[in-house]
Amino acid sequence: MKFYFPDSQDLVSPAYDFTRDEYPPHRVRQRDDRYAHEVLSRAPYHGILVSKSIVDGSIKGAGKYSSAQRARLYRMGVHRFFRLPPGVETLGDNGAFNYIDEPAPPVTVSETLDFYEECGFDAGVSTDHVIFGYEPDASPKTADPEWVERRKLTLRLAEDFISLTTDRRSHLEPVGAAQGWSPKSYADSVRALQDMGYKRIALGGMVPLKTDQILACLAEISTVLAPGTELHLLGITRIDAMDQFAELGVTSFDSTSAFRQAFMDDRKNYHTNDRAYVAIRVPQVDGNPTLKRAILSGVVSQKNALSAEREALRALRSFDGGDSSYRACLDALGEYEVVCQTKKSYLDVYAETLAAAPWRECTCTICRQHGIEIVIFRGTERNKRRGFHNLSVLQERMSRLVHRSPGAATPSPEAGT
């Protein structure tokens, strides 16, 4: 089972000063900052996925690349731009979620293939139009007419895409996009894509589905899946179901979930093989809007706020696992919560994090280098590093999974990168 990490220009600065919370004065982001595969001892993914809409922009506006970054990507190619080590693959797609509200994709098949070829991707997904809806018993006659048309359009675009790759004698591996609203409609899409000649198929529009609904679709697809055809899940992790996914023909997936949970989730911020822990929130005084308003209104003394912030950080950095430092941390964090006028206290779950001290057991490069800083929820440098750590944990869990091809008698292990 291969894991692809969707790019959103997530880098960290190796020279960031955690004590002063400062960047070096002459830092150049693209030159000096590092991707996850550069700061960890080995790449925490088998490949990266890059969306055309992220690079070139879409109907909703500009992408996340500056004009200089975009020009550099086209000039250098995707492998050199990301400084990818040997063996890390690249997969391109259109970023159909960015134009989901449009009646038709605002990009042509030719423009899609141009993007993939000019940037030197290993594989690329055909242009598609997302169906956001699930009606397991709906037939083409009873389903929402818009869903039916989007599925037909996606298949027409896929046929044009694979024909164009053939006509151009492209080195790109074409990946057919399958859309549907039910197990049968997904299976019919996969059957049609196989008839067009696709050996690799990406299943789209499944992000909102529950795990049992995804499994129902995969079970139906498995009845038409040809030997050698590989399935990719777009935007899906569901690590607890990956063994079942693999048995039903899934060979790869992409997701930002593990990374984003580091700073977007209320509880599952720091991952381990067994569970996830809450990161310890020590927001910067000048970066906390609620606290800044309280200071400006005179309700909170800026001097007291800065003092409480420094004491919380000092206590955490002095934490040695003993009862005395454990209590000192919780007391300092409690004081800072009061100063910050936190509506919801996290002290109980901070106690769990400190008692377990999971960063001490972690062997990833980031935790070995930075220690407790990685469980401190504070600014992009710590938060993204914690996200990179989470990716390394996902990699380790994925390396334990097995892949069973449809009809195979026994599973065979798939090693991680």
Catalytic residue ranges: 93, 254
122 burial via Cβ count (<10 Å: 0-12, 13-18, 19+)? middle
CB 402 within 8 A of CB 412: yes
Longest alpha-carbon distance in the chain: 72
Angle at 112 between CA 111 and CA 117, to 5 degrees: 95
**Pairwise CA distance, residues 89 & 93, whole Å:** 14
CB 61 within 8 A of CB 53: no
Q: What residue has token string 């190619």?
A: 77
**Pairwise CA distance, residues 143 & 138, whole Å:** 5
CB 3 within 8 A of CB 395: yes
- Residue 362, token pair as written in the block: 């972690």
| DSSP one-letter string for 330-374 | HHHHHHHHHHTT-SS--HHHHHHHHHH-GGGT--SHHHHHHGGGG
- Residue 59, token pair as written in the block: 């109907």
User: Distance of alpha carbon 54 from its chain centroid, rounded?
Assistant: 14
Other CB atoms within a 10 A radius of the CB of residue 230 amount to: 18
Q: What residue has token string 């706020």?
A: 305
- SS3 state at 377: strand
- Residue 289, token pair as written in the block: 């809007």
